[in-house]
Structure 1
Amino acid sequence: MMSTPIQIAVQLQPQHSADYGNIRDAVRRSEDIGIDIAFNWDHFYPLYGDPDGAHFECWTMLAAWAEQTSRIQFGALVTCNSYRNPDLLADMARTVDHISGGRLIFGIGSGWFEKDYTEYGYEFGTAGKRLDALGEALPRIKSRFDALNPAPTREIPILIGGGGEKKTLKYVAEHAHIWHSFVDVETYRHKSQVLADHCATVGRDPGEIVRSSELSREGNIDDAVKLADALVAEGVTLFTVAVNGPDYDLDLARGLCEWRDRRNG
């Protein structure tokens, strides 16, 4: 894991900007300052601030990013398994991957935001049932990738977000190229061991899985670097900073890109 270069990502949350031009500009600036990955998220309403504020849809936006950009990788952090048939979702991802020339990261999770479900007519159910559905969908998605004509441009990297020890980390061991977490250093260390145990069960080297963590948007660059250094020591190499509309302030991400360049040498 320690030989994996450090990467910096930004999550451009598609909320609170009624002018899509602000998001388009943020993507351009992200690529210009050397950010490695631009994420959005897969929700239909803002997660904080005005609950009925401006918001845009995930996958149509990713298709636009595929055409707009030339270097940066991109994807959803994360797409919700509940909102689309898994085979359709695989086809959408394959298409966006082709549009971009092979730069899509396929982030996926089980879903949790109840308002999305109730307002758009999806069954919310229980967390356990949503996780079970994710476990059933992942093999279908991979199988559909293999069946599509034309095939994806590459083996599309699958990112799974979350830290549930019985199901989510099992799915990471079975299917993911990237594991994304939201935890402090001590909790991360414990979750990482649980993941290693699942990998042993399925006969996989846990070092094959890139470790990803979100850094708080609060605080200054020194605080972010201190936490990032501590997580690098635990094997984390991908760091994401979330930014909100309408301004999409990238100053912290820019500072982390400078730190990345120093660490990578």
Structure 2
Amino acid sequence: MLLDTPVRLGVQIEPQHATYPQIRDAVRRLEDLGVDILFNWDHFFPLHGDRDGLHFEGWTMLAAWAEQTERVEFGALVNCNSYRGPDLQADMARTIDHISAKDGGRGRFIFGTGSGWFERDYDEYGYDFGTAGSRLDDLAAGLARVEARWDRLNPAPTRSIPILIGGKGEQKTLRIVGRHADIWHSFVPAEALAHKLSVIDRWAETEGRDVSGLIVSNELKTRDASDADALFDAGVRLFTLGWAPGDPDYDTVRRWLAWRDAKNGV
């Protein structure tokens, strides 16, 4: 894992229970505050609160963010591999990468992805839910196709698009992390991270891949500064914060930005 990288703060703007003007304004204000990464999620219905409340689709939103923003990186936390073919996902990611590149620079898109879990999405949109194992197998096969498609697209992506993979299962998920991920995201507590990272290392050795540059990511929403300190000591360098644009709490974001800056010696 990469420990000499600066601490970064990502805010996950929940695409639910808010109008799009509220979401657009949140993107602008959070970038101006100095957040490093903006995330949404890839679902079709709210995950909490009124289950039939306001909700927006994730990938079209990310394309809008690519045009709107100037500095922040951004992506889904996380894309669902089941909802779109892998070659299409690769092309969408490449296109958003180019949209986000300003003045001929590099794009800012992060390809966060996972195997899917929210059964209502599958049922109402007509996807086969399968099993947790079959969805993970599909993710492993899909990522190989995504990477192969990136190598064939014209124009190519502006950079090697970072792949973020979420989850903690040791037999399949962490093997996929060891094979493909640049960023590993989880909710694993600090005391369990060393073990999980050793599993990733073993799978990476099996896959013949060097993961010394892996960025470890974790969530702050239900945690305090002492928890974040422990996660930092365990190797986490990307901290994410679930956040509701319909009831925006910028003071909490400012507090975590101050914590980030203290860790970075700013």
TM-score bracket relative to the smaller structure: over 0.9
In the alignment, which residue of structure 2 is the partner of 1:228? Answer: 228
Distance apart, 1:194 and its partner CA: 1.1
Structure 2 CA distance, aligned partners of 1:228 and 1:135? 31
Distance in 1 (CA, whole Å) between partners of 2:141 and 2:91 is 17
Task: Please show how residues 53-202 of structure 1 align to structure 2 within 5 Å.
Answer: 53-101=53-101, 102-202=107-207
> Share of identical aligned residues, percent?
61
For 2:119 and 2:33, locate their aligned partners in 1 and report how far apart those are by CA, in whole Å: 36
Q: Is the 8 A contact 2:185 2:218 kept in 1?
A: yes
**Any idea what SS the aligned residue of 2:224 has?**
helix
Residue 187 of structure 1 deviates from its aligned partner by 2.3
Q: Mean alpha-carbon deviation: is it higher for 204-213 or for 48-57?
A: 204-213
Hey, what does 1:10 align to over in structure 2? 11
Query: 1:203: which partner in 2?
Result: 208
Length-normalised TM-score, structure 1? 0.95
**Aligned mates of 2:182, 2:224 — CA distance in 1:** 25
How far apart, in 1, do the equivalents of 2:242 and 2:39 lie?
Answer: 9
Structure 1 position 250, deviation (Å):
2.8
SS in 2 for 1:179: strand
Letter in 2 for 1:257: L
TM-score (normalizing by structure 2): 0.95
SS of the counterpart of 1:106? strand
Contact preservation (8 Å) 1:35, 1:254: no
1:243 and 1:250 in contact (8 A); partners too = no
Counterpart Cα distance in 2 of 1:187 and 1:124: 30
Residue equivalent to 1:35: 35
Q: Distance in 2 between matches of 1:108 and 1:47?
A: 17
CA distance in structure 2 between the partners assigned to 1:81 and 1:104 by the alignment: 17
Give how far 1:229 is off.
1.1
Range with greater deviation from structure 2 (199-208 or 20-29): 199-208
CA distance in structure 2 between the partners assigned to 1:68 and 1:13 by the alignment: 18
State how far apart, in whole Å, the 1-side matches of 2:250 and 2:143 are: 33
Q: Contact between 2:12 and 2:242, CA under 8 Å: does it hold in 1?
A: yes
SS in 2 for 1:208: coil
Flag as ranges the 4+ runs of structure 1 deviating above 6 A: none
Letter in 1 for 2:48: Y
Taking the aligned partners of 1:81 and 1:249, their CA distance within structure 2 comes to: 31
Q: How many residues align?
A: 259
Give 1:207 shift.
2.2
* Secondary structure of the structure 2 residue equivalent to 1:256: helix
CA distance in 2, matches of 1:253, 1:195: 31
RMSD: 1.1
Q: How far does residue 135 in structure 1 lie from its aligned partner after superposition?
A: 0.6
Q: Which residue of 2 aligns with 1:212?
A: 217
Segments of 5+ residues of structure 1 without an aligned counterpart are: none
